[in-house]
Amino acid sequence: MELLSSSDDDIRRAAAAISAGGLVAFPTETVYGLGGDAFSSKALAGIFEAKNRPFFDPLIIHIAGLDALDSLVKWDALSSAARKKFDILIKNFWPGPLTLILPKRSGLPDLANAGLPAAAIRFSSNLTAQKLIRFSGRAIAAPSANPFGCLSPTRAEHVVSQLGSKVDFIIEGGRTDIGLESTVFDITAEPCRILRPGGISRDEIEKSIGPVEIFSRTDIPNDTLNAAQSPGQFKNHYAPRTPLSLHTSVELAALPVSQNEGRLYFSKPPDAVPGTVRILSGTGDMKEAAANFFDILHELDSLGLTCIRAEQAPQYGLGAAINDRLRRASAR
């Protein structure tokens, strides 16, 4: 593995590796991705192997412009109502942290999307990601650059320590802006629904296209899941190695701090708390909290604590995505 800067020359080297079927970890505005040529079965297999990810969990395909859609999307399989929603959503949110489920063209290898009739497509706003895609001349399949089930990477060094030996290049892009993964939204379902809460909130989507449903099950044990049921709905996911439990503010205030415990508060607790305490946002700012989320969990996870007790976020805006990650991280 070689760590690259985000200069054009370095991105060109990484792009050449992608074109040759190699693997490159790169920054996006949400979290770092582990990318390979979406049309190369060899690269796709390499992604699953590097992450130790089950083949029935489909990947997100990253593009750097709308011109790439025609090679990926089977437009005639999209209803005119869904097409209207698509047009509004991409106008409002692309490039940005919204992944759309669209009927896929047969040229895309089944490995990319677990044999499902639809593919997840995302246009990241990160300029380095866009250049990597453009310079490689490919659509890039990229899950988050972490071993399956583990914390998502918000810094290049998280990728170095978690997947360093398994990739050709890692592009240094600093800390990611949003810090939580993209919202995965299925416009092919009727009614359309959020499959994974993320960087674009339900409110924002509903302001654009009207009411949507949330399909976010956390009750499916990992070993019984398959693609046909609901990809990406794993009960335990996004987990630190340190056991994590989830609490309301009231519960946390009543629980005495145990020996070598870590606490993760959404906002500043009213009374001082002894021991290892981290706060997602001192002022309760949702964006700041989201950006700090995985970053702080990585740090807490490195401290050798016996457990992490985390406070629920308010359930609005990005708070829904934070709580979704905390619920999965706390499931055992």
Residue nearest to ligand TXA (CB): 232
- C-alpha span between 308 and 178 (Å, rounded): 23
Supply the minimum distance, in Å, between the C-beta of residue 40 and Mg ion.
Answer: 21
- Binding status of residue 128 toward Mg ion by CB under 5 A: no
| CA angle in degrees (0–180, nearest 5) for 181-187-190 | 130
Element (H, E) at 299: helix 286-301
Q: Which does 330 bind (CB under 5 to 8 A by kind): Mg ion, ligand TXA, none?
A: none
Q: How distant is the alpha carbon of residue 210 from its chain centre?
A: 24
Residues that bind ligand TXA (CB under 6 A): 28, 30-31, 33, 57-60, 99, 101, 113, 116, 118-120, 122, 142-144, 181-182, 184, 195-196, 231-232
- Going from the C-alpha of 142 to that of each of 27, 80, 120, 121, 206, the distances in angstroms are 11, 29, 11, 10, 27
Supply the minimum distance, in Å, between the C-beta of residue 91 and ligand TXA.
Answer: 20
Sole binder of Mg ion in the list 130, 144, 183, 281 (CB under 5 A): 144
Which residue's CB is nearer to ligand TXA, number 57 or number 168? 57
- C-alpha span between 261 and 321 (Å, rounded): 24
Residue with tokens 């700090």: 292
Of the listed pieces 62-70, 71-79, 141-149, 242-250, which binds Mg ion according to CB under 5 A?
A: 141-149
Q: Which does 116 bind (CB under 5 to 8 A by kind): Mg ion, ligand TXA, none?
A: ligand TXA
Half-sphere exposure of 244 (CA within 13 A, CB side): 28
Q: Which does 130 bind (CB under 5 to 8 A by kind): Mg ion, ligand TXA, none?
A: none
Site residues (CB under 5 A) for Mg ion? 144
